[in-house]
Amino acid sequence: MWNVEAATIFQQVIATIIVAFGPLATGLGKGYSSPAVVSMQDATSHNSTMAFVINDDQGSWVASLSLLGAFFGGVPGGLAMKFGRQKILLIVSLPFCLSWMLTVFANNVYMVYASAFLCGVCSAIISLVTPVYISEIAHPDIRGCLCSVAKLAANVGMLSSFVIGSYVNWRQLAMIVAIAPGVLFVLVWAIPETPSYLMYKEKNIEAEQSYGWLNPGQDVTQEIQTMKDNIDDMKGENGMSCYNEWRRDLIRPVLITCGLMVFQKFSGANAFNFYAVSILGKAFVGINPYTAAVVVVLVQIIAGTVSSFLIDVVGRLPLLIVSNVFMTIALAGFGTFLYWVDGAEIGGAWDWVPFTCALIFQVAFAVGISPISWLYIGELFPLKHRGLGAIANSVSYVCSFVSVKTFADFRRYLGLHGAFWLYAAISLVGLLFTIIFVPETKGKNLDEMQKKYTPQEKYTPIREHEIENRLIP
């Protein structure tokens, strides 16, 4: 039962909904390439004097350059948070919107390349800043619920691109996608900077005003003092920078989290999301690939929601193992069907086979390796060195770019069926990696994980109540 006043809930929900336009914009961008690349390759969909048609190789760059941009946006995004959460959202949202205008008015594919790269940079910064903003303004009783809004908004954005893209061409879709960051730019003026950030910057009066806006009618004095004491304690600690204390005992968490990211991104599910319409168009005879792509993404979102409940009930390791097993089987089955029907005349009665395989490996991906890979970043690293999770984050962006970019090459040299057989083999290796190297962390608290990965003589326990209001800008 939430022990929070209705006015407080209302103000914090309003602020969360406003910043959630950021993840909505990133989700729209993530889903853009699947219908857009098909539209760009279809000469009949172009009725503009600026029309041009792209080939498969150019399509792979359109799909993947946003991920390369996200890699380069990650580092400055982390540094930019030192200038404020709300301020960065304000600064980034306008160029994010304008970047999409490059695609809207593009008269050659290189303008689309530039647009994709810039949108990736902006997406990475927003993806870093938004959850930090929400977690710092939310009351502990509703923090988990509000933080989930960002993920939900991103999923809704991707699904919306799939749905809208089935009715409009790539220019029109880009114009619609540009609306979300534009709305963010307009609305973010109405919300305050986070109190904890302002307090960290010793802007005490502004911090009190911000806390009062987010918690109307409450006495802010005690909370502000508690926040100030915690931040003063944090500033007095000299060893908080994880990069100053690289030790051999941290190598295993780095290798495990980076390994999981590699297998996650090269499992085929990542490439499928960016080329869903094109892939399903080759697999189906009687089913509309746009409709099928929407259904697959919707099921993936539902599976991801279910996963959030299963992770703490079933455990991380069992879900990872089951995820890899079903992904391997489904990916192999999808590739085998494509090989079987290649050049053959078959009716739409067999469309259920690839459709079922696609649903299985997307559900398996969403339930297991997709969320758990990110969860391990927060669980395997000791609190003091959790910033090293940025290494796995960078590996994730690089692997995302490579997996999406190379899909066209795999498809060209191995055939579409061979590409999915390759992804099945990678998932099988990922299964072996999981069984041999990945530990179970279910039911283990922060102290247990820190003792496991940090030598006892160097271990300094940090209790939950001591870090409740802490932040590192």
Q: What is the pLDDT of residue 327?
A: 94
Q: What is the pLDDT of residue 181?
A: 94
Q: What is the pLDDT of residue 322?
A: 93
pLDDT over threshold 90, residue 187: yes
Q: 1-191 and 242-442 share one CATH topology?
A: yes
Q: Is the dihedral of CA 386, 252, 69, 365 positive or negative?
A: negative
Q: What is the pLDDT of residue 115?
A: 94
Q: What fold, for 1-191?
A: Growth Hormone; Chain: A; (1.20.1250)
pLDDT over threshold 60, residue 237: no
Mean per-residue pLDDT for 25-51? 79
Superfamily of domain 242-442: MFS general substrate transporter like domains (1.20.1250.20)
Which residues have CB under 8 Å from 248's CB, separation 6+?
Answer: none
Q: What is the pLDDT of residue 462?
A: 37
Using an 8 Å Cβ cutoff, are 177 and 156 in contact?
A: no
Is the pTM for the entire model greater than 0.85?
no
Q: Tell me the pLDDT tens digit for each residue of 332-369.
A: 999 999 888 876 666 667 788 888 999 999 899 988 88
Domain boundaries in the chain? 1-191, 242-442
pLDDT over threshold 70, residue 246: no
Q: Tell me the pLDDT tens digit for each residue of 287-298.
A: 888 888 888 888
Provide the token pair at 21.
């336009």
Of all residues in the chain, the percent with pLDDT exceeding 70 is 77
Distance of alpha carbon 177 from alpha carbon 471, whole angstroms: 33
pLDDT over threshold 90, residue 18: yes
Report residue 21's pLDDT band, with 50, 70 and 90 as the boundaries: very high
Q: Tell me the pLDDT tens digit for each residue of 412-447.
A: 889 989 999 999 999 999 999 999 998 887 665 544
Output the 3-class SS for the chain: CCCCCHHHHHHHHHHHHHHCHHHHHHHHHHHHHHHHHHHHCCHHHCCCCCCCCCCHHHHHHHHHHHHHHHHHHHHHHHHHHHHCHHHHHHHHHHHHHHHHHHHHCCCCHHHHHHHHHHHHHHHHHHHHHHHHHHHHHCCCCCHHHHHHHHHHHHHHHHHHHHHHHCCCCHHHHHHHHCHHHHHHHHHHHHCCCCHHHHHHCCCHHHHHHHHHHHCCCCCCHHHHHHHHHHHHHHHHCCCCCHHHCCCHHHHHHHHHHHHHHHHHHCCCHHHHHHHHHHHHHHHCCCCCHHHHHHHHHHHHHHHHHHHHHHHHHHCHHHHHHHHHHHHHHHHHHHHHHHHHHCCCCCCHHHCHHHHHHHHHHHHHHHHCHHHHHHHHHHHHCCHHHHHHHHHHHHHHHHHHHHHHHHHHHHHHHHHHHHHHHHHHHHHHHHHHHHHHHCCCCCCCCHHHHHHHHCCHHHCCCCCHHHHCCCCCC
Of all residues in the chain, the percent with pLDDT exceeding 90 is 23
Report residue 154's pLDDT band, with 50, 70 and 90 as the boundaries: confident
- 452 or 119, higher pLDDT: 119
Q: Tell me the pLDDT tens digit for each residue of 31-42.
A: 898 888 888 887
Q: Tell me the pLDDT tens digit for each residue of 273-329.
A: 888 888 888 888 778 888 888 888 888 888 877 876 787 778 888 989 999 999 999
pLDDT over threshold 50, residue 455: no
Q: What is the pLDDT of residue 144?
A: 60
Mean per-residue pLDDT for 79-95? 83
Using an 8 Å Cβ cutoff, are 259 and 372 in contact?
A: no
